[in-house]
Chain A
Amino acid sequence: MLTRTKEPRVDKACRVKVWDVPVRLFHWILVSCFITAWLTLDNRYLDIHVFAGYVMGGLIVFRILWGIVGDSYARFRDFAFGWREAWNYMTMVLKRWPTRYLGHNPAGSWAIYLLLGLGLLITITGLLGMGGEERQGPLAGLLNYPQGESVIYLHEVLSWVMLGTVAVHLTGVATESILHRENLVGSMITGYKKAAQGTISAPPRRLVGTLMLVVIVAAGFSWFYGYLIETPEQPYRPFTGRQLPDNALWREECGACHLAFHPSLLPVRSWKAMMEDQSSHFDEDLFLEQEAIDKIETFLAENAAEQALTEAAWKINRNIPKTETPLRITETQYWIDKHKQISDEIWRDPKVNDNVNCAACHLDAEAGTFEDAAMRIPAGAGKSSTGIIKGIYEKITCIFSFNSSPSSIFTNKS
């Protein structure tokens, strides 16, 4: 075997290229994707989170192919160890004198297979869940909302398992680096390891590496292109929901004093009660004619929350007790939960004015879709900035504080 040297210390050493360019790029880009995905759990950064997921899935598929068609150390054949070998290796580690492997050692290989498998499952559950809960992505609509929600739950559990596996992997790297007095992290950067004279180097495969980079940069460019051409008047919306039912009379009559709140935001009984009482509508007399009232009420009832036209509709309706008939969207439990983190200063800011001014923050409020990542608190509103750095900081503090649910990627479970 060329790739394994039994002597623990290499005296007459030479530097050997072990990790080719594609393997190293794969490793570090995967690391960045993993970190990015954890930092972008907030709905507002869903497009970044999803991009990190796509890159991660793509990289893993590539790595599996490379493990089959790649060269020497990159091949799965080079580190296809059984359980027994991994176990033996671990006992050797405990005796502090493990064999040195130039490529992946048996325990490390198992971590790698586990990470690849988990990463792939996470990508798949992410895609399925996004298709079910958000009706976005290539699998949009394949699952319904409750199924989508369960899959997202699985997605979160798997992400925690992967985080644990990463921790084990890092511990292993540190242990082996100490026991063999070599810098394994450095090797993954430079590609070189010390080995006995005459050991064969892996070919660098720069072309494949360049191709990987080109593909990822091009994908990133097309994914985020909208941000480059956006204007303050027309901010970029990474996700646009499907077109919801519309009605000219409703938009005209119910959209004059405030946003025409889409029917999907309240259940049928709420709309019926509201239209019945239209002469004292939140202290206003709407003074509508009976014909208009009937027409609007029909439209409202046909597209009410029960129809689950959007994720928000489904969740709003689910959380209203059947005995209650809320007249305000802003009094439904789902709405309250989704907005409780917004400070009073922001609500009072003239740019926001009031919590019914949905369009101040939701770029798609007129359309009624209320997509994730289509919300932006107006620049400079309130004292607190809501830049991405602050958002990331908040998420980190959230992840490490155990009293709050840590990783609701698409939803606050309520």
Chain B
Amino acid sequence: MKRKLIFVTAIMVAIPLYAQADAVSELQAKYQTQSAGPFSAKAGEALWNKKFIDARSGKERNCTVCHTTDLTKAGKHVRTGKVIEPLAPSANPKRLANVEKIEKWFVRNCKWTLGRACSAQEKGDVLAFLKNL
């Protein structure tokens, strides 16, 4: 009986983890078909912290201005002040679980932060960095 319970709980815990790993690997596989890879968490982290200068305002922008450097903590949208829930899957299991959602935010956030779309390589690297946090 007890074993059965442990087994059931283990599965219940594993499903969301599996789903998340699934969304990330699904995306990474897709990026690989666009001749990117292999992906490195180090390169992802470097991109995460890299500063870009916005051409129009001349101000520095990077991923941390909204998400902060500690991804297990909540961030704050730099333009609107709205709280952004933590990005690290360990702190927020809802993260990196939905392929379309991730892609949508890559489009939005890369365009605003880098001033251009991110390459498949960059996106794969960032996911490699984020998924293990």
- Residue contact A360 to B107, C-beta cutoff 8 Å: no
In the assembled complex, the Cα of A360 lies from the Cα of B107 at a distance in Å of 28
- Residue contact B112 to A284, C-beta cutoff 8 Å: yes
Chain A residues contacting B112 (CB-CB under 8 Å) are 283-285
Known: A257-B77, A257-B82, A258-B81. 16 other contacts (CB 8 A): A257-B79, A257-B80, A259-B80, A259-B82, A283-B112, A285-B108, A285-B112, A287-B107, A287-B108, A352-B81, A353-B76, A353-B80, A353-B81, A354-B79, A356-B81, A357-B80
Interface size class for chain A? 10 to 19
**A286 on the interface (CB 8 Å rule)?**
yes
- Residue contact A258 to B108, C-beta cutoff 8 Å: no
A357: min CB distance to chain B, Å? 4
B122: min CB distance to chain A, Å? 17
**B104 on the interface (CB 8 Å rule)?**
yes
B42: min CB distance to chain A, Å? 28
Interface residues of B in 102-133 (CB under 8 A from A): 104, 107-108, 111-112
Residue of A nearest to B78 (CB): A353
In the assembled complex, the Cα of A356 lies from the Cα of B76 at a distance in Å of 13
- Residue contact B108 to A284, C-beta cutoff 8 Å: yes
Chain B residues contacting A359 (CB-CB under 8 Å) are 82
Q: List 27 A-B contacts (CB under 8 A).
A: A257-B77, A257-B79, A257-B80, A257-B82, A258-B77, A258-B80, A258-B81, A259-B80, A259-B82, A284-B108, A284-B111, A284-B112, A285-B108, A285-B111, A285-B112, A286-B108, A287-B104, A287-B107, A287-B108, A353-B76, A353-B80, A354-B79, A356-B79, A356-B81, A357-B81, A359-B82, A360-B81
Interface size on B, residues (CB 8 A): 11
Q: Which of B80, B81, B112 has the most CB of A within 10 A?
A: B81
Residue of A nearest to B81 (CB): A353
Chain A residues contacting B82 (CB-CB under 8 Å) are 257-259, 357, 359
A117: min CB distance to chain B, Å? 50
Chain B residues contacting A356 (CB-CB under 8 Å) are 79-81
Chain A residues within CB distance 8 Å of chain B:
257-259, 283-287, 352-354, 356-357, 359-360
In the assembled complex, the Cα of A280 lies from the Cα of B18 at a distance in Å of 36
In the assembled complex, the Cα of A285 lies from the Cα of B79 at a distance in Å of 14
Chain B residues contacting A286 (CB-CB under 8 Å) are 108
A345: min CB distance to chain B, Å? 15
In the assembled complex, the Cα of A257 lies from the Cα of B77 at a distance in Å of 7
In the assembled complex, the Cα of A298 lies from the Cα of B131 at a distance in Å of 37
Residue of B nearest to A359 (CB): B82
Chain B residues contacting A357 (CB-CB under 8 Å) are 80-82
B120: min CB distance to chain A, Å? 17
Interface residues of B in 72-88 (CB under 8 A from A): 76-77, 79-82
In the assembled complex, the Cα of A286 lies from the Cα of B76 at a distance in Å of 18
Can you list, as one digit per residue, whether each of B64-102 has a CB less than 8 Å from chain A (1) or not (0)?
000000000000110111100000000000000000000
Chain B residues contacting A360 (CB-CB under 8 Å) are 81
Chain B residues contacting A257 (CB-CB under 8 Å) are 77, 79-80, 82
In the assembled complex, the Cα of A359 lies from the Cα of B81 at a distance in Å of 10
Chain A residues contacting B76 (CB-CB under 8 Å) are 353
In the assembled complex, the Cα of A286 lies from the Cα of B79 at a distance in Å of 15
Chain B residues contacting A259 (CB-CB under 8 Å) are 80, 82
Chain A residues contacting B107 (CB-CB under 8 Å) are 285, 287
A268: min CB distance to chain B, Å? 24
Chain B residues contacting A283 (CB-CB under 8 Å) are 112
B78: min CB distance to chain A, Å? 9
A302: min CB distance to chain B, Å? 25
In the assembled complex, the Cα of A285 lies from the Cα of B107 at a distance in Å of 8
Chain B residues contacting A287 (CB-CB under 8 Å) are 104, 107-108
Interface residues of B in 18-39 (CB under 8 A from A): none
Residue of A nearest to B106 (CB): A287
In the assembled complex, the Cα of A120 lies from the Cα of B2 at a distance in Å of 72
Chain A residues contacting B79 (CB-CB under 8 Å) are 257-258, 354, 356
B63: min CB distance to chain A, Å? 15
In the assembled complex, the Cα of A353 lies from the Cα of B79 at a distance in Å of 8
Residue of A nearest to B107 (CB): A287
